[in-house]
Structure 1
Amino acid sequence: MMSSAFESGLLRMRPRCQCSPEWSGTLCTERYDDCRNGGQDLCVHGLCIDADRLIAGQPRFQCICESGWEAPAGNPACVADVDECNLANKPCSTNPLVPCFNTQGSFYCGNCPSGWQGNGYSCQDVDECLTNNGGCSSAPMVQCLNTMGSFHCGSCPPGYEGDGRTCTQANICSSNNGGCHPLATCTSTTGSSFPTCTCPEGYTGNGYGPSGCTHISNICQTNNPCVNGQCTSTSSGYICHCSPGWEGLHCDHNINECSSNPCQNGGTCTDGVNGFTCNCTAQWTGAFCQTPQQGTNH
């Protein structure tokens, strides 16, 4: 009996501890670890960091969320997906604009648009002009002009028409007869911006412009082409009848009578119009230096 009474007295004498919310045990030596007690899935998509309890019996902790996850209001667990595509700082390229696709806990970017290269997070301009002149004409050569995300071709050179990618020989004769006389035949010449103008039968001239072709029946009267001769009109043109000493289509070339070497015995020939003069040596005389001078021994 005495033993039981003694033990009861000791129990009444042992101190009783009032623990704070974070601690437990007879002497308040056991600390609560809410992360360990709550298991691995307490934060779901994050790392659990234990915190001191403020209210007895109420676990307290915080979660460090993994990238792409966040804790919703009123719930410390990382169970809410972060929509990266709606963040203020867009994760995908904005210049040029690349589409962003949100996924649970992550996201991905679409492809860079045509004219750009990269992974979608960033895009760089492609210089199309570095390859095959960008598709612009190379015969004839047309300048390729690179722009951000694209390019364009310059104009076709004079004498050609097209969009710069393809240039074809322009038909210069299709407008205003190419500048030829209205009656002339206009013909385009490859590689040239000027046409060939040909006057019709019964007309003469270079064919260019309003006065490029002249009616042959009037040419002998209006513009005598025979310089040193008489002009006679024909059905196909005209004929020049040259004055003595002249030759050529328009009688504008002096005949060189000295070309036949008419001067004899060392005489020197001087050409004239429709004639010549022989300058004889001292021993000879005559029109052709054919007569010996009197008193000269040979």
Structure 2
Amino acid sequence: MGVACGSLFPTALAVMALIFCAFTAAKADYIDFFDCLDGKWLNYEDSWKQDFDHVSIEECAQKCVEGTSEELREGQCLSFNYNKPRHRCTVIADNRATVDPFYHELINYSYYEYCEMKDILSFFIARPGYMQAGHDDAIVRPREATPRICALRCLRGADSLPAGFCLSFDMASTHPDSCLLSRASPATTGLPLVSNPRFNYYQRNIDACFNDPCVHGYCTSQENRINCICDTGWGGETCDIVCFLGTFGSGCSQTCHCAGGISVCNIQSGECSTGGCAAGWSGPNCQTACPAGQFGLGCTNTCHCASGHSVCDTETGVCSSGGCSAGWEGSNCQTQDFCAPNPCINGACENGESGYTCSCHAGWQGTNCDAACAAGTFGLECAQTCHCAGGTSVCDVQTGVCSTGGCAAGWSGPNCQTDCLPGQFGPGCTGTCHCASGISVCDVTTGNCSSGGCSAGWKGSSCQEACDPGSFGLGCSSTCHCADGVSVCDHQTGVCASGGCAAGWQGNNCQSVCPAGQFGPGCNGTCHCANGGSVCDTETGNCSSGGCVTGWEGSSCQTGTTFYLCQNG
């Protein structure tokens, strides 16, 4: 990348064009002596400096070139800081190359511009031991005549030799006291230099870099071709193009590696404003590839490739060959196989992020499923409780089935895990509740009624005993009155299954005594007592006093007598 500005010894016409290329005005443009960086500031804490207020940046450049005082004479100023808002100029006797190494890095200050004087002697070709005879157009006598100061004077021009017209100068090789400036050179005169060990000759190397074409950078030249070294964040032949997204640095030569995408990449430094580095990269500006054996975001993951780190992709961790090393699995070998071999003695193993978990078979518990369920428990995770009538020792730890004795009171089912249905109780739920207040007050274990006592026809602590023959009802407190005996009497209701009521009783369950004047089975007999129905036995019809009424006879006065009516008494 370069722009030709002429050959070393061009024709006279070309030389004039080259002179115009370096200085285009009769008066030197002092700012052309400097490479300036906008927004930068040099820390000059340990350097000699001098401040000037209310000056332009061009005037500041002139002060640096010409010198300002006894303390900072011509040729001693190497750079300056310029405060743009305050128009304040600080000339400095150092530059980045000479300042204390601790301060050689420029500091970002948006309202400053830092200008560093170019290597003036690089614009001249030295010919030690030679001189150009007869072409001394101007003789200047600086306070100190050095090759650099004479070069500055040639570029600045003199009263009789305007800026841009000086092509060479001579000076004494020892104890020089003057600069012999000339508008001529062998290229313009066609005459060779004269050998003279008492002089040194310097000829302008007309260089396009003096009119620095690099917009955001600095210029270097070789064989009359320029090369722009761009500031970070800029590219293009003349450093006038902002780095495209995804590139950064000087000349936009570096590639961004941000996890958040190219939009978060600083075009100057490559630093990622958010999200950190993309997978496979690390470092302050994400330019360091993950070291062997590491991969992913921030290079924080470890490779597990059977064939070694060299086959591990630094972005994904995928092994290009050989698969995963022992104990690891997954597409990028990041899932540790904690289950190989299976640590779960009586169960299934499941991998986790940092370990394994065992799902124990029924009847087993513990971290590695190596402990049988405790007595009285069974099933998965030993979470179920045994309900065996024969105790915990007969309960199968896997199924809960009772090997002997069946289920404990209040439970049923193949493994005794089913509660007795309402109205049932006892071992295997084989007992039927008989509570006067309903099944809700029946204890499923004992059958005891918590309130209300036993229902009709039942007695005992758990109401499981039927009433004794001849009694029935609540508390078995009622007496049966059946003609065919107690065996046909319902122990709950007192109803006679056959034969009807015993003599002297009537009603649905034979609990009503015959009314006065009636007796016998079903109270179907009519009393014939002389003293009225009150003396008539309700069972037999016998009259307890007074005997039978007229016309009836017999033990129960149920036999009618024969009599005749007399006409006359």
TM-score of Structure 1 vs Structure 2, range by shorter chain: 0.3 to 0.5
Whose Rg is larger? 2
TM-score by length of 1: 0.44
